[in-house]
Copies of this chain bind each other. A is one copy, B any other.
Amino acid sequence: MKNSKNLYGVILAGGSGTRFWPLSRELTPKQLLKVFGAESLIWKTIKRLLPLVPQEQVYVISNDKLAEEIRTSLITEKEPFTKVGYLIEPEARNTAPAIGLAAVHLSSVDPDALMAVLPSDHLLGNPDEFLVVLKQAADLAAAGYLVTLGLKPITPETGFGYIKLGAELKDFSGAYPSYAVERFVEKPDRKTAEQYMKAGDYFWNSGMFVFKAATVLEEIERLMPDLYGQLAQFKELSLNEWKSEEAKSIFSGVEATSIDYGVMEKSNKVAVVPVKLDWVDVGSLTAIGDFLEKDTRGNAISGNVIDIDSENSIVFGENRLVAALGLKDMIVIDTHDATLVCPRERAQDVRKIVDVLKARKAEEYLVHRTMYRPWGSYTLLEKGPGFKIKIIEVKPGARLSMQMHHHRSEHWVVISGTARVTRDGEVFDVHINESTFIPASTMHRLENPGKIPLKVIEVQNGEYLEEDDITRTEDDYARS
C-alpha cells in the first residue's frame, strides 16, 4: 500500500441494534455485546484494523450517549483502546450523513485522508486476508475511486443487497482483480438470490467502503447538494460543538439516507474488490446460530440450558435456567429481565417487540441490568416502591467519584474485599461481613484499596432512585 500514513478508520457505531433484543439494549447495542467471544464486536472491529491504522487514526462515530458507553467499554477491555477518537452524530440519519461528517473532520485534519469505513457489527474469521483486501482498496481509493468490498455469496441470502460486477479495472494489479460496478441491486427474493449465486458475478454488498475523504465529499456535493450544505456548516464547528444545540438544529433538517442510495448507486467513480472472507453480518439473532458450534441436531446452545429433543434451534441463556423441549427452528433468548421466544424465520421482526417497549416507555428493558463503568460495574438486583438493591463491583485500586444524592440513602454491606469509604470528610475501611450507611445529602466515595475485587451490596432507600440524582465533585474518569 502506498498511502498507509493517510489511512484512517471510521467505525459506524450509531445503530441501536433493535433486532438483537433482548441481548442488545438502547445503551448496550450489539456492537458492545460480548456474545461473540470475550471482546465486544466493536473492539474486534478496531483490533482488526490496527496492523494498518494506528489507534490515533481510528474514529468511532455514534450519538453522544452511546459514544460515552462505547468509550467506557473500549477502555475497560482487557486490551484497552484509549486513543480512539469519537465523532458525535447529533442524530441518527443513516450512513450518508454519518460518513459525510467523518469526511468533513478527516479532510480538515489531513487533506489526503483515506477513510476505511467499517460497520461495528461484523465478524471476520480471516483478519489477515482482510488486511490484504483493505490495502488494495486503499490504493484504488488513493486513485480517486469510491471502493466497496463485495463478498462472495456462500448462501442465497435474501437479507443483503448485491453488486453486479462490471468491467475489470486492468490498470490496477493487486492480490485481487478490481472491477467497475455494473449495478447495485436491492435485497432479492429467494429465487433471484439463487440465480445470483449461480451467475457468479453477483457479490454481497458488505457495507465496507474505502475512499478519500475529499472524493466522497465531492460526490456528496454533486449528488446530495442539500446534505453537502448541511455538512459544510460543521466545518465551522469544533468537535465538541458537534454535541451542541446548534449542531442538533442543523442536523434535524438532514434527510436519513444510506451512502449506497445517496452516492454509491449514482456515482461513476465506484469500484468493487470482490473477495471471499469468512464473514458474519450480525444482523439478527440468527447470527448467534451461525457463530456458535452446533450440536448433532443442529442446535446452537449456550448458557444454563437443558435441551431435550430440539432441532435446528438457537437457545441462548445466561445464569437463569432455560429448559427447551422438542423445539423446531426456534429462537429462545433469555436474559436477566426479559425472555424472547420466536421462530427463526421471524428473527427480523424482533424490532417490532422493541417498538412496543419504546411505546410503553418500558425503560428497564432498554438498558441492561448490569452496567459497566470505568471503575467496575453495577448490577440491579431488585427494585420496588422506595428501594433498589444493587451489587457494586469495584476493581482493585479503582474508586467511584466523590458524590452525593439528594433523595436517597445508601446501605452498604461488603461481601468480598475491603471498602474504603469516605463519608462527610471521614475516611474508614469496611471489611467483609461489615456494613455502613450513607445518609441522603452526604458527600461520599467508595474505593477499593485492595488487591482483589470489592463487592458491595447496596440497598438504596428514598422516594426518587434514578441514576440522575447524583452530584459529582471529583472523578478519576472526567465525568460530570
Task: Tell me the A residues contacting B by CB distance below 8 Å.
Answer: 21-22, 306, 308-309, 317, 320-328, 330, 332, 334, 337-343, 345-346, 349-350, 352-353, 356-357, 362, 365, 381-382, 384-387, 389, 391, 409, 411, 413, 415-416, 432-433, 435, 437, 457, 459, 461-462
Q: Say how many copies of this protein the assembly contains.
A: 2
Asked if B325 and A349 sit within 8 Å, CB to CB, the answer is: yes
Minimum CB distance partner of A410 in chain B: B413
| Complex: A224 Cα to B131 Cα, angstroms | 81
| Complex: A327 Cα to B353 Cα, angstroms | 14
Known contacts A326-B349, A341-B330; is-contact A382 B391 (Cβ 8 Å): yes
User: Which residues of the partner chain B approach A328 to less than 8 Å between Cβ atoms?
Assistant: 343
Known: A326-B345, A387-B415, A433-B461; 4 extra A-B contacts, CB below 8 A, are A324-B341, A409-B433, A415-B459, A435-B459
Could you tell me the dominant secondary structure of chain A's interface residues?
A: strand
User: Which residues of the partner chain B approach A330 to less than 8 Å between Cβ atoms?
Assistant: 341
Minimum CB distance partner of A337 in chain B: B320
Asked if A384 and B459 sit within 8 Å, CB to CB, the answer is: no
Q: Which of B309, B322, B337 is A339 in contact with, Cβ under 8 Å?
A: B322
Minimum CB distance partner of A330 in chain B: B341
Give the residue among A324, A327, A391, A413 with the most B Cβ atoms within 10 A.
A413
User: Which residues of the partner chain B approach A387 to less than 8 Å between Cβ atoms?
Assistant: 413, 415, 457
Asked if B308 and A326 sit within 8 Å, CB to CB, the answer is: no
Asked if A341 and B322 sit within 8 Å, CB to CB, the answer is: yes
| Complex: A459 Cα to B457 Cα, angstroms | 8
Known contacts A321-B339, A415-B386; is-contact A349 B459 (Cβ 8 Å): no
Asked if B384 and A382 sit within 8 Å, CB to CB, the answer is: no
User: Which residues of the partner chain B approach A386 to less than 8 Å between Cβ atoms?
Assistant: 415-416, 432
Minimum CB distance partner of A354 in chain B: B323
User: Which residues of the partner chain B approach A356 to less than 8 Å between Cβ atoms?
Assistant: 306, 308
**Between-chain CB contacts (< 8 Å), 5 pairs:** A306-B353, A317-B339, A325-B341, A332-B341, A411-B435
Minimum CB distance partner of A336 in chain B: B320
Asked if B339 and A320 sit within 8 Å, CB to CB, the answer is: yes
Asked if A325 and B338 sit within 8 Å, CB to CB, the answer is: no
| Complex: A180 Cα to B409 Cα, angstroms | 73
| Complex: A334 Cα to B413 Cα, angstroms | 31
User: Which residues of the partner chain B approach A338 to less than 8 Å between Cβ atoms?
Assistant: 320-323
Asked if B459 and A413 sit within 8 Å, CB to CB, the answer is: yes
Minimum CB distance partner of A384 in chain B: B415
Q: How far is the CB of A201 from chain B (nearest CB, A)?
A: 36
Minimum CB distance partner of A459 in chain B: B413
Asked if B362 and A321 sit within 8 Å, CB to CB, the answer is: yes
User: Which residues of the partner chain B approach A365 to less than 8 Å between Cβ atoms?
Assistant: 321
Q: Which of B22, B306, B349, B437 is A435 in contact with, Cβ under 8 Å?
A: B437
Q: How far is the CB of A76 from chain B (nearest CB, A)?
A: 21
Asked if B342 and A327 sit within 8 Å, CB to CB, the answer is: yes
Q: Which of B308, B346, B433 is A352 in contact with, Cβ under 8 Å?
A: B308
Minimum CB distance partner of A391 in chain B: B382
Minimum CB distance partner of A408 in chain B: B433
Asked if A342 and B320 sit within 8 Å, CB to CB, the answer is: no
